[in-house]
Amino acid sequence: MKDPVTFYPGAEADQGEAGGGDLAILKSRASRRAFIRGVIASGAVAGSSTFLFGSLGGCSPDRPAAGAVERLLSLNINGKVRRVDVLPNETLAMTLRYKLGLTGTKLSCDRGECGACTVVIDGVSTYSCSTLTHMVGDRQVRTIEGLEGPNGELHPIQQAMIDELGPQCGFCTPGQIMSTVALLEANPNPTRDEARHALSGNLCRCGAYDHYLNSVMRAAQEA
């Protein structure tokens, strides 16, 4: 196989004695490798310039970068407004646990299946691991920490969980409690089937479902 011939600008001067046909053949046999190198180099220059000047688009307060989101948010958590720096793709569970120190909200499956991360947003039980913090806005978020009484006393639902031996390992218990809070605030006197349906999104790996249902019914009776 013949070696490819690379064409360099100015080769015409060196090939002055060669005929026009030879020069055309020399150009047509220019190395594909040299051509690809040129394409890659030009693309790298264009990409770096876009990165350099595009990344500076948000530096001016008068001209925010296209698609940019405000990172410093005001969140209403347990009745208090908290200011927190939030990444665009950050979930509420991550914000609560690692930015605000509210570790009662548990992370388990982290894909909206087990309910350990359940919080109450505007009265609705919600998986915080599947909710972007930027979607919360000014809505009211309640976590397990927000159930504590003014003197540190337990919430009636928490006390009912203890009395009925609801928790075993206890990891899913905060989510079970928050789902119960949302249920009893919307329906203070649920049937056992209604309670079972309300807690159906909360997985208990210990299998203590009957204990949790007993706790819900006890809390409803004592409310």
Domains of the chain: 72-222 (3.10.20.30)
Type and span of the H or E element at 182: helix 173-186
Nearest to 148 by CA among 158, 140, 139, 138: 158
Three-class SS state of 215: helix
The angle at the Cα of 78, spanning 77 to 81, to the nearest 5 degrees, equals 45
Nearest to 128 by CA among 119, 138, 139, 137: 119
Query: CB–CB of 180/157 below 8 Å?
Result: yes
Q: What sign does the dihedral 45-46-51-55 (CA atoms) show? A: positive
Q: Mind listing the pLDDT tens digit of every residue in the chain (223 residues)?
A: 545 544 445 544 444 454 555 555 555 555 666 666 665 666 544 444 444 444 443 444 444 455 566 899 999 999 999 999 999 999 999 999 999 999 999 999 999 999 999 999 999 999 999 999 999 999 999 999 999 999 999 999 999 999 999 999 999 999 999 999 999 999 999 999 999 999 999 999 999 999 999 999 999 999 7
Within 13 Å, how many C-alpha atoms sit on residue 51's CB side? Answer: 6
